[in-house]
Amino acid sequence: MPVTPTRWLAEYAWLPEHAEPTPDVLIEVEAGRIAAVTPLIPGSRPPAGVEVYADATRLPGLTLPGLANAHSHAFHRALRGRTHGGRGDFWTWRDQMYAVADRLDPDTYLALARAVYAEMALAGITCVGEFHYLHHRPDGGAYDDPNAMGAALVEAAAHAGIRLTLLDTAYLSASVDGQPLAGPQRRFGDGDAGRWAERAGGFRPTDSHARVGAAVHSVRAVPADQLRTVADWARERQAPLHVHLSEQPAENDECRAVHGRTPTALLAEHGVLGPDTTAVHATHPTSADLTLLADSRTGVCLCPTTERDLADGIGPARRMADAGIRLSLGSDSHAVIDLFEEARAVELDERLRTRRRGHFAPLDLLTAAGVAGHAALGWADAGRIAVGARADLVTVRLDSARTAGVPPVGVFFAAGAADVEQVVVDGRVVVAEGRHLTVDVPTELSAAIEAVTPA
């Protein structure tokens, strides 16, 4: 029996390669894919208050393609509002993060990640890349199912109604010079890259919403002679490969001291860079590093709210874009889960650095938040309102206290996650009237965070 298509009439829709949103667009969805996109002829717009037009459901406001959160550590959400009481930097914050990591198990992580991913859905995020290194028990021993923690994340994303790329992360050493893991870090490690590959390769979720990629945590956490093992594992599977890169100046200094080169140069030497690789942060690259990233077609995922929360610095986004490096976005530590904020921060941070305005056009920001992020996570068929693409539709109100009077093209400079009215993922409504249809997000977040935060 043929599948009856669903028809949506968007007041405005942002179509691929269009500098501004298009008014009155009929979007037809069949079997989770966009079957037709038809801008209506002028004058055919339905009258105000009419909810159905030619069997189509109206979407008042601006409809965007689904947003992709290309870098997430779901358990960091438990730290929001708890790490700001004094001075410090990334390294002092990391100690507080480890305290939460030490308290998680597959059941508590499922509960927390389910609520966090549902919060992402409320923000218009239809796909997330989870940079996952909480592999084992707190003492470093394996669970009966060695991938129990990863399986919990896959299940959590299913409950929340979004897609997941599980970036199984190799985390093998505590420092650039190869110091062994200790304390809370013990649960991150597999011993060596060969054993990491064996465990990661044994996890093959059959759920259509999930796929597995790989990650090198950083040059601090994977010895140089084991980097290629991780890269080869990803390439053999045609899977995305991500890596934390030059997040703090100390990482660069330590890498130079031990290896005589920058982290980017070390990764290039050992085959980590490439078109399927995404470097996360890249806050402190040299000019030579940018050339290596561009020449290898490596992408960069910027996480501006985390980078400023941890006082890491401002990455050279405009120089990266000018070099041809594709940019995507992530919420990382979830100090905020709001891709609109991450996107506009790319432009606003450049203004702070240069004291000039106008570095990124609105379409550039939409591309980073949408199609580029999906591609970085291995979902090249998502992030565009176009025939054949996955039917991910995010409708943003244009009549809220933040967006009233704002032209649709200005949404990334005015709207926030709270303005998302409806979210459709693979043709299925997940959020309606600003509410998640299956998860009580505030209640579940409160309970899950209370269960894993130290008293």
d(CA 315, CA 317): 6
Q: What six digits make up the tokens of 34?
A: 């966009």
Calpha distance 316→439 (Å, rounded): 38
CB 98 within 8 A of CB 184: yes
Q: List the structure tokens of 444.
A: 């579940």
Alpha helices (H) along 190-333: 193-201, 227-236, 249-259, 263-269, 287-295, 304-309, 317-322
* Residues annotated catalytic, as ranges: 281, 332
Tokens of 422: 């409806």
Joined tokens for residue 300: 């960069």
**Do the beta carbons of residue 246 and residue 264 sit within 8 Å?**
yes
Phi, psi of 230 (to 5 degrees): -70, -45
Tokens of 20: 């501004």
Structure tokens at 285: 């690259």
Residue 293, amino acid? L
Cβ contacts of 438-445, under 8 Å, gap ≥ 24? 438/118, 438/159, 438/161, 439/114, 439/115, 439/118, 439/159, 439/160, 441/115, 441/118, 441/119, 441/122, 444/111, 444/114, 444/115, 444/118, 445/77, 445/115, 445/116, 445/119
- By three-state DSSP, how is residue 62 classified? strand
